[in-house]
Amino acid sequence: MHMMAPHTKNLFKRAILQSGSPMLLSQVYTRGQKTAEEFVSKIGCLPEGTDIYDGVELIVRCIDSTPLKKISDAQQAMVVNNPVPFLPTIPSEYIDTFPTQDNENITVEQKEFLVGFNRDEGSVILHLAYPKEYTRQTVPAMTTLEEARNAMVKMAVDGGFPESQAKSMATVLLNGNETDTPENWARKIGAVFGDIMFICPTATFADKMSAQNRTVYLYELTHRSHSSVWGQWMGVTHHDELNYVFGVPLRYPNMFDGEDINFSKRLMKTWTHFARTGSVSPIDYQNDWPPYDSTKPYMDLNTKNAYIGHRYHEETCNLYNALIEYFSR
């Protein structure tokens, strides 16, 4: 969002977006006041009958004097059914217009972008939102498509979607055989939420920046460490890339193997080369990494044979975007 906010958009030259995009549903950015009021109420800093904008200074002073444990407990309670509750509010003094695909008022000063996602983004979201049902090792005992769709409807409603929209999304986006294993249904539900929250918004952002003649490099990270703390059903989940980008395998080599260490070296070199130059180094990969264009190329980042793919999850994203357009009428 700093790329698009008037007060911050000129502060940096290029950007790296890992598993995130500003091109989310507008309703995500309109619940800030409700979220803030719920939070300050939990810690006893919102006088009854007032809203967050009444006596802002008094509320801030109350938060400052609140014990850290009480703030931490309130934050934990906030993420029970919504693992990402705290987001920018739009419109606001920070940014006054929604960063949607068709909004021509949104402009950025940056010329180069490195953006991407991990293969199984949504699995850890299920775990964080429903830690008792989706543990690291176990998942709910769903075996039918109907059960899986009902579970997805409940999650979407918990996330703020009207039930009618949630049912439409589950019917259109969650598919498969009439029966399957609980692990496979959990992976498929996670894949849908990964597409909605990370992959499709990232692809939309890449489309918009490419159309404005910006240089965009898109990646999918598919390497799963042998020492992963996440269950097998969770795959290569959200934030898995952080260990490699920040060199954790080099700092703690006893916790990782040689593949992890070499992969971390390659990602650090790629990220820092881009930060300095705005391009990716061609000598680090067996295949040239082309900038994003109408063929929608992306680099699959793994330890074996990084390769170029095209149009990642395009069919699902087209269906999702069509649904959102229909909902907004």
Of the candidates 224, 223, 220, 199, the one whose C-alpha atom is nearest the C-alpha of residue 300 is: 220
Give the contacts of 234 (CB within 8 A, at least 6 positions apart): 120, 123, 124, 127, 136, 190
Q: State the average pLDDT over residues 234-245.
A: 95
**pLDDT for res 48:** 80
Q: How far apart are CA 12 and CA 23, in angstroms?
A: 20
> Is residue 78 in some structural domain?
no
> Is residue 60 in some structural domain?
no
Higher confidence at residue 182 or residue 323?
182
Q: How far apart are CA 271 and CA 158, in angstroms?
A: 36
For residue 157, which amino acid is it?
A: V
**pLDDT for res 25:** 67
CATH number for the domain spanning 119: value is 3.40.50.1820
- pLDDT by residue (tens digit) across 290-308? 999 999 999 999 988 778 8
Torsion of CA 274, 271, 216, 311, to 10 degrees: 150
Q: What is the DSSP string of 191-236?
A: HHHHIIIIIHHHHHHHHHHHHTT-EEEEEEE----TT-SS-GGG-S
Torsion of CA 151, 157, 160, 166, to 10 degrees: 90
**pLDDT for res 81:** 63
Give the contacts of 306 (CB within 8 A, at least 6 positions apart): 285, 286, 287, 299, 300
Highest mean pLDDT among 102-111, 123-132, 141-150: 141-150
> Is residue 87 in some structural domain?
no
Span of 30-39, 81-90, 260-269 with lowest mean pLDDT: 81-90
**pLDDT for res 281:** 77
Portion of the chain with pLDDT greater than 90, in percent: 52
Instruction: Give 120's pLDDT tier (boundaries 50, 70, 90).
Output: very high
For residue 277, which amino acid is it?
A: T
pLDDT above 90: residue 238: yes
What are the backbone angles phi and psi of residue 144, rounded to the nearest 5°? Answer: -120, 155
**pLDDT for res 91:** 76
Instruction: Give 162's pLDDT tier (boundaries 50, 70, 90).
Output: confident
Q: State the average pLDDT over residues 20-34.
A: 74
Count of structural domains within the chain:
1
Instruction: Give 115's pLDDT tier (boundaries 50, 70, 90).
Output: very high
**pLDDT for res 100:** 63
**pLDDT for res 296:** 94
Residue 290 has which token pair?
């082309």
What are the backbone angles phi and psi of residue 31, rounded to the nearest 5°? Answer: -100, 10
Q: Using an 8 Å Cβ cutoff, are 119 and 219 in contact?
A: no
Mean of the per-residue pLDDT values for the chain? 87
> Is residue 46 in some structural domain?
no
What are the backbone angles phi and psi of residue 36, rounded to the nearest 5°? Answer: -65, -40
**pLDDT for res 82:** 67
What are the backbone angles phi and psi of residue 275, rounded to the nearest 5°? Answer: -60, -35
Burial of residue 99 (number of CB atoms within 10 Å: 0-12, 13-18, 19+): buried
Q: How far apart are CA 171 and CA 292, in angstroms?
A: 31
Instruction: Give 88's pLDDT tier (boundaries 50, 70, 90).
Output: confident
Domain membership of residue 156 as a residue range: 15-20+112-327
What are the backbone angles phi and psi of residue 219, rounded to the nearest 5°? Answer: -135, 155
**pLDDT for res 66:** 95
Instruction: Give 95's pLDDT tier (boundaries 50, 70, 90).
Output: confident
Q: Using an 8 Å Cβ cutoff, are 229 and 136 in contact?
A: yes
Portion of the chain with pLDDT greater than 70, in percent: 92
**pLDDT for res 77:** 85
> Is residue 319 in some structural domain?
yes
Q: State the average pLDDT over residues 127-156.
A: 92
Alpha carbon 7 to its chain centroid, in Å, reads 24
> Is residue 126 in some structural domain?
yes
Q: State the average pLDDT over residues 117-138.
A: 91
pTM of the prediction?
Answer: 0.86
> Is residue 287 in some structural domain?
yes
Give the C-alpha distances (Å, rounded to integers) separating 36 from 79, 149, 282: 13, 31, 46
DSSP-based helix, strand, coil % in the chain, nearest 5: 45, 10, 45
> Is residue 316 in some structural domain?
yes
